[in-house]
C-alpha cells in the first residue's frame, strides 16, 4: 500500500475526532491555477495565541485492540486497515509544510498492541519532527489512555497541545459501550498532565529557559447521544473535568451510528443543534461563572433546543429581572442574555460619566435584541409583555427549532 492510499484511509478515519474541524475541501489544482485544497486530512485549529492554523489531521493507524461499540475502527469492524510508520508521518508533515499546505500536525491513533507501545510510536513522530527536521510548527497529539506517566511527560515536552479523550460522559456508558476501557485509565493521564503543568509553571517563574510543557494545554472529547444520557449528565461531567484537570476545552461530538451494535440499536444521529446548545452551555461554565446546576437539574435534565441556555436560565430565574443597567454589578451584567464581557465593560466605563439611556446604547453599538426583556435602561423597559415565564419562553423561542438541520441553498420556501 503506497503513501497516498494510506493517507486517504487514515485521514478519513480521523474525521470523527472533533478537536479540530476538517475543511472537507477537494479542490484540485490546474496548470493555470494556484494552490491545492486536498481532502487528505487538512483541518483548521487555533494556536495558543488565537491564530487559525491549518493542520495535517490523520491517524497513525486505524487498527485497534479495543472493540468499542460506537467506533468505526473497532476491532471487529470489517474495514480497510492501514498503518503509517513514524518516519512516513514525519516526512508527510514536512513535505506538506514546505508546500505551504499546513502549519502543523494533528495526530491520533488506534491502539496497537498496548497503550505504552502506541505512545512510543507516536512520540517517535514528535522526536523526528523536533530533533531531525528542527520543526517548530504546531503539533497536537492524542495521548493514549493507560499509558505510563513517563511517556505522557515525554509527549508533553514535544507537542503544543495534548488530548486525552474521555469519550463518554458516564461510567455506565463506558461500561456498556467500551467495557475494555476504564475511567481511571483515562483520567489518570489527565491528572499527570495537570501536575506537570503546575511544576512547569513554578519552574518557569525561577528559570526563564525551562523547557516548554504543553503551552496550549490539554483538551478532551466527549461523544454525546450514544447511551441516551441527558444533557445534565454531560455538562456535569464537563464541569468536573474543568475543575479537576484544568482542561482548556471539552469538545462534543454528536453520536453517528457508523457501526451496528445491540447497545446503540435504535439510537439516531445526534442533532447538530444539540451539539450547538451544549457548546453554548459549556461556554457559560468557562466564561460566565455558571455552574452546571444553574443551567440544568435532575428534573429539567435536557437543554431546550428552541432557545439558548443563557436565555433559558434567565427565564427560569425571571424573579431576578429586570436589572437596571445603570446600577448593576459586572457579574449581574454578565448574566443578562445578549450581554458579554465587551458589552459589560462598555456599560461600566460609560456610566462613570452619565446615566445611560437607550439612545446611548445605540451610540455604543450595544444590541438589546435579547437583553431588552431582562433590563431597565434608566428606568425604561422595552421588552415583551408576559404573564408568566412559560409565556415569555414561548414568545422568545424560534418556531419548529427541534426540526432544525443543516440549511441548503436549494431548499424550497427559502428566499
C-alpha cell at 58: 490523520
Query: What is residue 32's predicted lDDT score, i.e. its pLDDT?
Result: 53
Task: Select from 78, 142, 156 the least CA-distant residue to 111.
Answer: 142
| Residue range 279-286: mean pLDDT, rounded | 96
Q: Which is higher by pLDDT, 233 or 402?
A: 233
Q: Which is higher by pLDDT, 369 or 411?
A: 369
Cα–Cα distance, 216 to 156 (Å, whole number) = 10
**Cβ-proximal residues to 11 (8 Å cutoff; 6+ apart), any chain:** 39, 40, 41, 57, 58
Cα–Cα distance, 129 to 121 (Å, whole number) = 13
Cα–Cα distance, 247 to 249 (Å, whole number) = 6
Query: What is residue 260's predicted lDDT score, i.e. its pLDDT?
Result: 80
Any idea which residue has 509527549 for its cell? 155
Tell me the pLDDT tens digit for each residue of 364-378: 999 999 999 999 999
Query: Per residue, what are the HEC states of 219-281?
Result: EEEEEECCCCCCHHHHHHHHHHHHHHHCCCEEEEEECCCCCCCCCCCCCCCCCHHHHHHHHHH
Query: What pLDDT band is residue 58 in, cutting at 50, 70 and 90?
Result: very high
Asked if pLDDT for residue 53 goes beyond 90, the answer is no
Query: What is residue 15's predicted lDDT score, i.e. its pLDDT?
Result: 77
pTM of the model: 0.84
Tell me the pLDDT tens digit for each residue of 125-176: 999 999 999 998 889 999 998 899 999 999 999 999 999 989 899 888 998 9
**Cβ-proximal residues to 121 (8 Å cutoff; 6+ apart), any chain:** 60, 86, 109, 112
Asked if pLDDT for residue 402 goes beyond 50, the answer is no
Determine contact, residues 374/343, Cβ cutoff 8 Å: no
**Cβ-proximal residues to 323 (8 Å cutoff; 6+ apart), any chain:** 332, 333, 335, 336, 374, 375, 376
C-alpha cell at 254: 454528536
Question: What's the chain's Rg over C-alpha atoms?
Answer: 24
Amino acid at each position: 500500500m503506497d503513501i497516498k492510499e494510506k493517507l486517504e484511509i487514515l485521514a478519513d478515519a480521523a474525521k470523527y475526532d472533533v478537536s479540530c474541524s476538517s475543511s472537507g475541501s477537494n479542490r484540485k489544482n490546474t496548470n493555470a491555477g494556484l494552490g491545492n485544497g486536498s481532502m487528505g486530512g487538512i483541518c483548521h485549529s487555533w494556536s495558543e495565541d488565537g491564530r487559525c492554523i491549518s493542520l495535517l489531521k490523520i491517524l497513525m493507524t486505524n487498527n485497534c485492540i479495543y472493540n468499542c461499540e460506537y467506533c468505526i475502527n473497532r476491532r471487529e469492524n470489517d474495514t480497510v486497515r492501514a498503518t503509517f510508520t513514524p518516519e512516513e508521518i514525519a516526512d508527510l508533515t514536512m513535505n506538506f509544510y514546505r508546500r505551504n499546505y499546513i502549519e502543523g500536525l494533528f495526530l491520533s491513533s488506534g491502539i496497537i498492541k498496548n497503550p505504552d507501545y502506541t505512545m512510543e510510536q507516536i512520540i517517535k513522530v514528535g522526536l523526528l519532527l523536533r530533533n531531525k527536521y528542527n520543526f517548530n510548527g504546531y503539533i497536537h497529539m492524542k495521548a493514549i489512555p493507560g499509558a505510563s506517566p513517563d511517556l505522557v511527560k515525554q509527549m508533553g515536552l514535544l507537542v503544543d497541545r495534548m488530548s486525552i479523550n474521555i469519550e463518554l460522559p458516564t461510567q455506565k456508558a463506558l461500561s456498556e459501550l467500551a467495557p475494555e476501557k476504564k475511567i481511571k485509565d483515562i483520567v489518570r493521564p489527565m491528572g499527570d498532565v495537570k501536575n506537570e503543568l503546575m511544576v512547569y509553571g513554578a519552574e518557569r517563574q525561577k528559570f526563564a529557559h525551562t523547557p516548554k510543557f504543553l503551552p496550549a494545554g490539554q483538551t478532551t472529547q466527549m461523544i454525546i447521544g450514544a447511551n441516551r444520557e441527558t444533557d445534565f449528565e454531560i455538562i456535569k461531567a464537563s464541569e468536573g473535568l474543568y475543575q479537576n484537570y484544568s482542561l482548556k476545552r471539552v469538545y462534543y461530538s454528536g453520536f453517528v451510528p457508523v457501526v451496528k451494535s445491540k447497545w446503540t440499536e435504535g439510537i439516531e444521529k445526534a442533532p447538530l443543534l444539540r451539539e450547538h446548545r451544549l457548546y453554548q452551555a459549556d461556554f457559560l461554565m468557562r466564561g460566565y461563572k455558571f455552574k452546571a446546576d444553574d443551567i440544568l437539574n435532575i428534573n429539567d435534565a435536557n437543554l431546550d433546543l428552541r432557545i439558548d441556555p443563557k436565555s433559558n436560565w434567565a427565564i427560569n430565574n425571571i424573579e431576578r429581572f429586570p436589572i437596571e443597567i445603570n446600577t448593576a454589578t459586572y457579574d449581574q451584567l454578565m448574566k443578562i442574555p445578549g450581554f458579554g464581557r465587551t458589552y459589560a465593560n462598555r456599560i461600566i466605563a460609560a456610566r462613570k460619566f452619565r446615566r445611560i439611556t437607550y439612545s446611548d446604547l445605540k451610540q455604543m453599538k450595544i444590541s438589546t435584541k435579547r437583553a431588552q426583556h431582562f433590563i431597565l435602561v434608566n428606568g425604561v423597559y422595552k421588552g415583551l409583555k408576559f404573564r408568566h415565564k412559560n409565556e415569555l419562553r414561548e414568545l422568545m423561542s424560534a418556531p419548529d427549532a427541534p426540526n432544525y438541520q443543516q440549511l441548503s441553498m436549494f431548499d424550497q420556501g427559502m428566499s
